[in-house]
């Protein structure tokens, strides 16, 4: 079996680039109007101001880089501090404790609603034993049915012979016998046995 590895990560409805483009341009037009010098300086999403427009771009980038590097160093130092490590430890412990409490609550609620789940493995075993017993019983009943049909088949043949009827039924019965015999043998082999070859 072969498959390409190029697959989309998720399913989406058909994408209409032209409609998206038109909508986007309309939005940008409205934004440009709002951001014009007459209406005020453009604002960032947080509502804060933007960098001074008279600052050279290169200077702005350098200042920004230096600022972010110092922020990065500060973050690294803080994440190494005993205070952070202790907070991290307690935070994780509390989160796991809450998770266990929620699971215990749900388990108890389930037990009260649907009965104890402690014996779930015993219940599964009991169901499997019941299945085996029922299957054996069905096999026995099937064998008895076959025997009864076989007897009925012989009697009918004798009746037809006495009446001088056609032998077609015997052929069918023979066929039926064979089928029954096959059925019996397959049922006697059990439903759970698996041939090692099939694995």
Question: Is residue 99 a contact point for another protein (CB under 8 A)?
Answer: yes
DSSP code of residue 196: G
- Which residue in 8, 164, 168, 196 binds another protein (CB under 8 A)? 8
* Residue 179: closest CA among 161, 155, 153, 140: 153
Q: Which is nearer to another protein, 59 or 134 (CB)?
A: 59
Q: Which is nearer to another protein, 89 or 174 (CB)?
A: 89
Stretch that binds another protein, among 57-65, 109-117, 136-144, 182-190 (CB under 8 A): 57-65
* Residue 53: closest CA among 64, 44, 62, 41: 41
* Cα separation, 18 vs 21, whole angstroms: 5
H helix or E strand, kind and range, residue 127 = helix 120-163
* Residue 127: closest CA among 135, 139, 118, 116: 135
Q: Which is nearer to another protein, 7 or 185 (CB)?
A: 7
Total residues found in the chain within this entry: 199
Question: Is residue 72 a contact point for another protein (CB under 8 A)?
Answer: yes
Total interface residues for another protein by CB under 8 A: 55
Question: Is residue 116 a contact point for another protein (CB under 8 A)?
Answer: no
Q: What is the DSSP string of 168-194?
A: HHHHHHHHHHHHHHHHHHHHHT-SS--
Question: Is residue 107 a contact point for another protein (CB under 8 A)?
Answer: no
Point out which residues bind another protein (CB under 8 A): 1-9, 12, 15, 17, 20-21, 24-25, 28, 31-32, 35, 40-42, 44, 48-57, 60-61, 63-64, 67-68, 71-72, 75-76, 79-80, 85-86, 88-89, 92-93, 96, 99-100
């Amino acid at each position: 079996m072969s498959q390409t590895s190029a697959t989309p990560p998720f399913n989406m409805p058909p994408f209409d680039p032209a409609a998206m483009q038109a909508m986007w341009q309309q939005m940008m037009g409205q934004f440009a109007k709002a951001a014009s010098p007459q209406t005020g300086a453009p604002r960032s999403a947080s509502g804060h101001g933007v960098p001074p427009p008279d600052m050279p771009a290169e200077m702005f980038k350098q200042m920004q880089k230096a600022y972010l590097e110092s922020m990065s160093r500060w973050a690294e130092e803080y994440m190494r501090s005993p205070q952070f490590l202790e907070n991290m430890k307690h935070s994780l412990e509390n989160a796991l404790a809450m998770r266990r409490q929620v699971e215990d609550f749900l388990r108890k609620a389930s037990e009260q609603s649907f009965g104890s789940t402690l014996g779930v493995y015993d219940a599964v075993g009991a169901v499997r034993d019941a299945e085996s017993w029922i299957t054996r019983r069905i096999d026995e009943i099937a064998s008895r049915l076959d025997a009864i049909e076989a007897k009925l088949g012989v009697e009918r043949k004798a009746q037809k012979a006495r009446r001088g009827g056609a032998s077609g039924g015997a052929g069918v019965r023979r066929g039926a016998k064979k089928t029954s015999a096959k059925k019996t043998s397959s049922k006697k082999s059990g439903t759970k046995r698996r041939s090692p070859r099939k694995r």
